[in-house]
Structure 1
Amino acid sequence: MCLAVPGKIISINHHENPLLQTGRVSFGGVIKEMSLAYIPTAKVDDYAIVHAGFAISLLNIEEAESTLTYLQQISERNISRNQ
């Protein structure tokens, strides 16, 4: 099973070759360097769906926040079940 999650682009390392462009993406405070090759129009503060180190598509803030809320609720339920 594959899982892609939304993350917020917090910085972009511009490169003359768009296939080598990367950015720092925040996942609720966990920051990872990701390839932005598939979304060359990305800007700082955009939300992207990320899978296996690649930002694969952009999404609007409402979709991102909704997904992040669901993921947080799932996490909280799992924590309360294990206590």
Structure 2
Amino acid sequence: MCLAIPGKIKSIESQYDGLVRIAKVSFGGIIKEASLEMVPHAKVEDYVLVHVGVAISVVDEDEARKTFQYLKEMGEVEEELNISEMLPDDI
């Protein structure tokens, strides 16, 4: 199943002579890159929903935290971020 996972933008860089904006996004401490092409107004410290490496919307912090927690409880976060081997057994 593919889901959009909420994360917090930690940094943004421009690539290809400024044509593409890529963010480093933190998902509960796991950092992944995401394209900001669908959310050109997104900035550092914003929370975004990321689906297959693309930020698809900006969300408020409370909504992001609730969604991340629900997905974590369902076990979906590990699968979507491919991090299950990095997590302790008790999660």
Normalised TM-score (structure 2): 0.72
Q: Distance in 2 between matches of 1:70 and 1:53?
A: 20
> C-alpha deviations, 1:39-74, integer Å up to 9, x for none?
111111111000111011110111101112222333
Q: Distance in 2 between matches of 1:14 and 1:42?
A: 13
Partner residue in 1 for 2:82: none
C-alpha RMSD over aligned residues:
1.7
> Mind listing any 5+ residue stretches in structure 1 that lack a counterpart?
none
Partner residue in 1 for 2:81: none
> C-alpha deviations, 1:11-36, integer Å up to 9, x for none?
0003532xx11010011111011111
The sequence identity of aligned pairs, in percent, is 49
> Mind listing any 5+ residue stretches in structure 2 that lack a counterpart?
76-88
Partner residue in 1 for 2:38: 38
Q: Distance in 1 between matches of 2:26 and 2:2?
A: 20
Q: Distance in 2 between matches of 1:4 and 1:69?
A: 13
Q: Is residue 67 from structure 1 mapped to residue 67 from structure 2 by the alignment?
A: yes
Q: Distance in 1 between matches of 2:68 and 2:36?
A: 21
Report the alpha carbon displacement of residue 2 of structure 1 after superposing the two structures with TM.
Answer: 2.5
Q: Distance in 1 between matches of 2:34 and 2:59?
A: 16
Give 3-state SS (helix, strand or coil) of 1:21's partner: strand
Aligned length: 75
Normalised TM-score (structure 1): 0.79
